[in-house]
Chains A and B, each alone.
Chain A
Amino acid sequence: MKILIKGGRVIDPSQDLDGAADLLLDGGAIAALGPDAAAAGTADTVIEARGLVVAPGLIDMHVHLREPGREDEETIASGTRAAVAGGFTAVASMPNTEPVTEGEEGVKFVVAKACDAALARVHPIAAVTAGLRGEMLAEIGAAAAAGAVGLSDDGSPIANSGLARRALEYARMLDRPVISHSEDPGLVGRGVMNEGRVSTRLGLRGIPNESEDVAVARDIALARLARARLHVAHISTARSLELVAEAKRLGAAVTCEATPHHFALTDEAVASYGTNTKMKPPLRAEPDVAALRHALRTGQVDAIASDHAPHSQEEKDQEFDVAPFGIIGLETSLGLALTELYHKQVITLVDLVRLMSTNPALILGLRSGTLRPGAPADVTIFDPGRDWTVDPAAFLSISRNTPFSGWQLKGKAVTVIVDGRILLRDGEITV
C-alpha cells in the first residue's frame, strides 16, 4: 500500500529539512521525499496536508504503561492507543511494572503485547537492578538482546554509587543508555512537593532542588568514569541543567529530557492540594521553570518526554500525603509543547520535532525519527494552530490523572501513521 502525503510543510531535522514537500510511503518504509515524490508512482491513498506539519513520527521516550500488574490503570493496548491519539508513533516503556520488566522474559512480554496491540510502537526499557531493589544487577545483557533499548531504575533511584558505576560500565558494553531517575533518596526523604515558600505555607514536607542536583552530579561523574551513555530523565532544576551542560562541554555522552509539566507549571499549582500536581521530581519554583525554558530555547535539553504515569481515580482522590506520585501526559504532551513553547516563542517547530522525534530516536538508537527513504514509515502530521480544550473524559488512556483538565491548548495531532498504517486520521483513531 502506497500513501502520498501532499502539500505539507515537511520538517525533518535529521536532514536539515523544513519546507513544502510531498512524502511517499510504500508499505512499511519511506519511499520518497520531495517535489518528485508525487511522480514516483500512483498512490493508493492521498493525504492532503496543506497548512499542516509533516514530521517523522513523534517518540515519547518516557512512559509507564502499567502492564503487567496494574491493568486497571493502563495496559499496553490502552497506553499505545492514547499515544497515537496524542500524536506519537512510538513510546519507550519504563520497567517499574509488577513484576518488574527485566531480563529476557520481561522484555519479551512487553514486545509481544505491543505486537498484539498493533498501535504505537513500544520500545521497552529494562530494569538495571533486579526487582528495582538497587542491590544487584538484573540480567541486562539478556534484556538488551531481547530488544530493550535502554536501562533504567526509574522511580527507584540507585542509592549505591558502586552499583550505579557497575551498571553504567555494563551498559556501555551493551551500547545502551542508562536513563537515570536522579534523586538522592536521603534528601527526598518523605517529601511530597518542592521545598520552598509554597511547601512551608501548605505545611507539606519538601523535596529540595539539591536532591536532584547532587544525584545528577553523581550520575554524571559515574558516567564519565564508566565512559557510558547517561540520559537524565525529567530534569527539573536550574543547577541540574548547568551540570548537564557542563558535562556536554567536557565531552561526556550525557543527554537529558524535560516533561511538559515541568515547563508548564510551577509549585504554586500545588496550592489547593490537588493530587494531580504531585509527582517526582516535584513541580519546581518559578526560577527553575524559567531556567528549563531557557535551556529548551538554547538547545541544552535534548528531548521532551511526558513521564506518562497513570494512577487510578481512587488512589489519587486522597490526602496529598497519601496519593501516589505521577500524572499522565501522552494526550497532552504535544499540545503543551506547541502552546507553551512554540506559540510563546521559546522554540521553533524544527526544535520541537528535534526534541520529540529526532533526538529520542538518536538517544535510544532507533531507526525511526527520520524521513529518509528506507526509514520506517512512521509519520506524524499535526496542526500547530488547532485550538482545543483538554477534556480528561475524552482520553483514550484508562486513567484521568492530569492537572491540565480544562486547559485551552493550541496545536494537535491530525494524522498518525505507524509502519505504513494510518492509525489516526483527521484526529480520529481508525482502529
Chain B
Amino acid sequence: MKFERSDLLGIEDLTRDEIGAILEATDSFAEISERPIKKVPVLRGLTVVNLFFEPSTRTRTSFELAEKRLSADMVNIAASTSATVKGETLKDTARNIEAMSIDMLVVRHSASGAPRFLAEVLACPVVNAGDGAHEHPTQALLDMYTVRKKVGKLDGLHVGIVGDILHSRVARSNIWGFTKMGARVTVCGPATLIPPGIETLGAAVTTDLDGLIPELDILMLLRIQTERLSQCFFPSLREYAEIFGVDSARMARARKDVIVMHPGPLNRGVEITPDVADGPNSVILEQVKYGVAVRMAVLYLLSGGERTSEDTH
C-alpha cells in the first residue's frame, strides 16, 4: 500500500495497514544494514534536522545513522546549544530552521504535543522522536518489528509492559501499536505509576507481576527514572526492584520462550538484573539494531516513498 502521511506524530493515528506498510518497508532497509556498504541514495540531496530538546543518545544516534545510510544531509541540534535557552519560543526556533530550507524535521521534546504543534506550523514532514508522556512512535514500530522478526507474527500475542506507565510514551505507543496489530497488552507497575483510564487505550491493568509473568509472550520492562523517587511515587529503588524488578527467580515463572525487551537505557539491578538483560530471552540489542532500519523506513515513506524506491531493492 502507499503511505499517504506527511508526518509521523503517533501510533494512535495509524491504521493497522499503515503500521503493516512501515514494517514491510523495514525489511528491505534491515537488509541494507547487513551490507558491507551500508548506504543507499534514497534521500540524497535532502536535508534532515534532528531537533532534540531532551538529551538522548540512543534515539538520536539511531536517527542519525538512518539518515546517513539514506544519504541525507543531516544536522543535529541539541536544546542546550539551540536558542531556546535564550528564551526563543518553540515556534520561532522551528521557523528559523525551516527558513534554511530543510526537508524533514525529527523532534524530541519534553512537552507532550510539541511535535504536533510543529507539524501545524511547518510545511515539511515532522517525525516525533518522543514527546513528553505522549508517544514515541518509532520505538513502538521497532519493538513490533523485533517481535515480528522473532515470533513471525504479532496477532494473538500477550504483551506485558512493566514499570512507570504514567510517564512512559513508550508504553502508550506500544499499547496502541500492539493492540492494533491484534496482540493483547497488559500494563503492570506500582499503583502510583498507572495512569487513570489507561484501559481505555486498550490495555488491561494489574499490579501483580508474579501473576502476570507466566501468561506473557513478551515481557517489556521500562526504565525507572530515579527522579520518581523524590516525587514520592515509590519508597526506594530497593523496594521497587523487590516488587517489580525482573531477576532470574521471576524469569523461572515465565514461559521458556518469553521475549524480554527494554527500550533502554537500562537500570541494571532495578527493573532488570544483568543476567536477565544479557540472558537468552533478551532481544534488547536487536531492538537497537532494528531501530535504525525502522527509522530508515519511516524517513523513506515520509519523503514520498517513490522517487528512488528501486534503489532499495
Stretch in contact with the other chain, from B107-115, B152-160, B214-222, B303-311: B107-115
A200 and B91 in contact, given A321-B132, A322-B111 (Cβ under 8 angstroms): no
Over the window 307-334 of chain A, the binary record of Cβ atoms lying under 8 Å from chain B Cβ atoms (1 yes, 0 no) is: 0000000100111111000000000000
Over the window 194-238 of chain A, the binary record of Cβ atoms lying under 8 Å from chain B Cβ atoms (1 yes, 0 no) is: 011111111111101000000000000000000000000000000
Q: How far is the CA of A272 from the CA of B89 in the complex (A)?
A: 19
CB nearest neighbor in A for B110: A321
Residues of B within 8 A of A321 (CB): 110-112, 132
- Pick from A200, A201, A314, A319: contact of B109, CB below 8 A: A319
A interface: dominant SS:
loop
A273, CB-defined interface residue at 8 Å:
yes
Q: How far is the CA of A321 from the CA of B90 in the complex (A)?
A: 12
- Closest CB-CB distance, B261 to chain A, in whole Å? 21
Whether the pair B201, A273 counts as a contact (CB closer than 8 A) is no
Whether the pair B132, A204 counts as a contact (CB closer than 8 A) is yes
Whether the pair B172, A196 counts as a contact (CB closer than 8 A) is no
B38, CB-defined interface residue at 8 Å:
no
Interface size of B in residues (CB-CB distance below 8 Å): 25
Q: How far is the CA of A156 from the CA of B89 in the complex (A)?
A: 26
- Pick from A200, A203, A272, A318: contact of B200, CB below 8 A: A200
- CB contacts under 8 Å to A, within B192-218, are 195-198, 200-201
Whether the pair B112, A200 counts as a contact (CB closer than 8 A) is no
CB nearest neighbor in B for A190: B231
- Closest CB-CB distance, A274 to chain B, in whole Å? 9
CB nearest neighbor in B for A322: B111
- CB contacts under 8 Å to A, within B124-170, are 131-135, 169
A320 and B113 in contact, given A196-B196, A197-B196 (Cβ under 8 angstroms): yes
A273 and B196 in contact, given A201-B12, A203-B135 (Cβ under 8 angstroms): no
- CB contacts under 8 Å to B, within A49-101, are none
- CB contacts under 8 Å to B, within A148-193, are none
- Pick from B91, B169, B195, B198: contact of A317, CB below 8 A: B91
Residues of B within 8 A of A202 (CB): 112-113, 134
B39, CB-defined interface residue at 8 Å:
no
Whether the pair B196, A200 counts as a contact (CB closer than 8 A) is yes
Q: How far is the CA of A46 from the CA of B280 in the complex (A)?
A: 92
Residues of A within 8 A of B135 (CB): 203
12 residue pairs from A and B, CB less than 8 Å apart? A197-B196, A199-B197, A200-B197, A201-B12, A201-B172, A201-B200, A203-B169, A206-B196, A318-B89, A320-B111, A320-B117, A321-B132
With A320-B117, A321-B132 known, 13 other A-B pairs at CB within 8 A are A200-B196, A200-B200, A201-B12, A201-B200, A202-B113, A204-B113, A204-B133, A204-B134, A208-B196, A273-B112, A317-B89, A320-B113, A321-B111
Residues of B within 8 A of A (CB): 12, 89-91, 109-114, 116-117, 131-135, 169, 172, 195-198, 200-201
